[in-house]
Amino acid sequence: MKLIDEINKRRTFGIISHPDAGKTTLTEKLLLFGGAIQEAGAVKSNKIKKGATSDFMEIERQRGISVATSVLAFEYRDIKINILDTPGHKDFAEDTFRTLTAVDSVIVVIDVAKGVEEQTEKLVEVCRMRNIPMIVFINKMDREGKDAFDLLDEIEQKLHLRVIPLSFPIGMGYDFKGIYNIWEKNVNLFTGDPRKDIEDTIEISDLSNPELDDLIGTDAANELREEVELAQSVYPEFSKEEYRDGQLQPVFFGSALNNFGVRELLDCFIDIAPSPRPKESTTRVVHPEEKDFTGFVFKIHANMDPRHRDRLAFIKIVSGKFERNVPYLHVRQGKNLKFSSPNAFFAEKKEIVDVSYPGDIVGLHDTGNFKIGDTLTQGEELSYKGIPSFSPEHFRYINNADPMKSKQLEKGIDQLMDEGVAQLFRLELNNRKVIGTVGALQYEVIQYRLEHEYGAKCTYENLKVHKACWIEPEDPKSAEFADFKRVKSNYLATDKRGQLVFLADSQFSLQMTQEKYKNIKFHYTSEFK
């Protein structure tokens, strides 16, 4: 098959949601459609469950699962679908943000009763900023929930999306009768039987057809007619281009648990979701159909087996053909590497592959060469943009609790930072190390993993920091910048790449500093050039 045909048959996407909205259940039903798994319950939730086991064990369990579910690939209607797993727990949001740099589109799952929740807002905002095409799936229609129009309003207002319903529910909760598929113009009646055949959908190309009255009763039929008419007058017309530009978001209704409305979602997704998209690099935009291979690391998984220092770097292929045993340029290190056993992922299995194409994810065994964001090419000196570090929200000094193991500690911290577990800063004042994280859970993860994987012990000390901002002076030689560095010397640190960071101890002091130093920019992500 030609490269362009391989590209056109791929869809790489992520499912995002607030925990409990039904992401795992939906993933599983999608895999069932692709025949990739045989039964329900096969996909394990990557949620951190509090309770029975200790948090450390829970974190390890979660890490184990998250290797297995990092990429779930299957084929459906001759399309190769790659679902990239995104952790829902807020402490791991940065993992999800990074994964979102490797998807070509997303599906947003919303609980019909809870509506738009906190994590949904944060994740959708990241997708919106990147103009990632989104389809919304409103789940749990078998339960009592919000009115469809109210929910659509809420999505527009809270998520700042421009929605267009492509299916519409007939009733809800106890009275849930099914959905009218505006996209395909047919009715799917809800029987509550998850094994129901997809052939059970009934073609109703014209809503005025009296057959509809026979199917769902005259009252419900009239209500549906009114609602769909209203929806069509209120919402914009569907345009594939606008959806793909991230300017319009189709909405589907259903119940993942009952496997209802999922087929409709998947069929529409196959029709409209983009195949691998071009990506911007430091020098130019790279198109997937280019002959030469390029790709970037968006995730690293380390030490699943502490006896072998194994690390798996996950590469998203952006262009060309990736081949086993062919040397590729590791751009940051300026050296060629080849890989004898690259892994590809199918449902829950991984296998060694000879060739992979744009949109695919390959797992490369690594002995410490890779950092998140690294680029591989066939020789061209380009780096992919778009994996910034986000300003952490928690800060602690990290201390060595076992002086005999300081080497191990150094190495452990170094590798965990490469993996993107947290960010390391070094205070200019006293050269002490500060760990910044997005969630408090990461401190437990780091302490536990340092001990179990590197044999090192650490303790933490609190540090009052409100926010870290990356500093960019308009003129590095100005008197203003010199003054800033002198006055704020106690609050300055450098990150891993040597960039200057200002650790503000309160919102107030940050604001005052920003007002005082007007020619210095304060950035909330590390990537601003």
Which residues does the annotation place in the binding site for GTP?
A: 17-24, 85-89, 139-142
Minimum distance, C-beta of residue 178 to ligand G4P, in the bound complex (Å)? 14
Residue 139 has φ and ψ, to the nearest 5°, of -105, 165
Residue type, 429: L
> Can you name the residues that pair with 433 across neighbouring β-strands?
426
Region class of 183: left (phi > 0), else alpha (psi between -120 and 50), else beta = alpha
Only one residue has tokens 């009218």, namely 180
Handedness of CA 406, 411, 412, 414 (dihedral sign): positive
Closer residue to ligand G4P in complex, CB, 96/255? 255
d(CA 363, CA 367): 13
Only one residue has tokens 């991984």, namely 350
d(CA 75, CA 347): 10
Minimum distance, C-beta of residue 43 to ligand G4P, in the bound complex (Å)? 9
Minimum distance, C-beta of residue 387 to ligand G4P, in the bound complex (Å)? 24
Structure tokens at 141: 């229609």
Closer residue to ligand G4P in complex, CB, 22/359? 22
Structure tokens at 62: 């979660």
Minimum distance, C-beta of residue 27 to ligand G4P, in the bound complex (Å)? 8
92 to 38, 298, 300, 425: CA distances (angstroms): 30, 14, 14, 19
Closer residue to ligand G4P in complex, CB, 159/329? 159
Residue type, 422: A
**CB atoms near residue 308 (< 10 Å):** 9
DSSP for 302-314 reads E-SSTTTT-EEEE
d(CA 487, CA 465): 17
* Binding site residue list: 17-24, 85-89, 139-142
Closer residue to ligand G4P in complex, CB, 253/470? 253
Minimum distance, C-beta of residue 29 to ligand G4P, in the bound complex (Å)? 9
Closer residue to ligand G4P in complex, CB, 194/473? 194
Minimum distance, C-beta of residue 265 to ligand G4P, in the bound complex (Å)? 12
Closer residue to ligand G4P in complex, CB, 20/242? 20
Closer residue to ligand G4P in complex, CB, 23/449? 23
130 to 126, 202, 268: CA distances (angstroms): 6, 38, 22
d(CA 527, CA 61): 33
Minimum distance, C-beta of residue 126 to ligand G4P, in the bound complex (Å)? 17
In the three-class reduction of DSSP (H, G, I as helix; E, B as strand; rest coil), residue 501 is classed as strand
Closer residue to ligand G4P in complex, CB, 173/236? 173
**Of 284, 314, 330, 359, which Cα lies nearest the Cα of 3?**
359
Structure tokens at 78: 């001759």
Minimum distance, C-beta of residue 345 to ligand G4P, in the bound complex (Å)? 19
Q: In the complex, which residues of this chain contact ligand G4P (CB under 6 A)?
A: 17, 19-25, 45, 47, 88, 139-140, 142-143, 255-258
d(CA 304, CA 418): 16
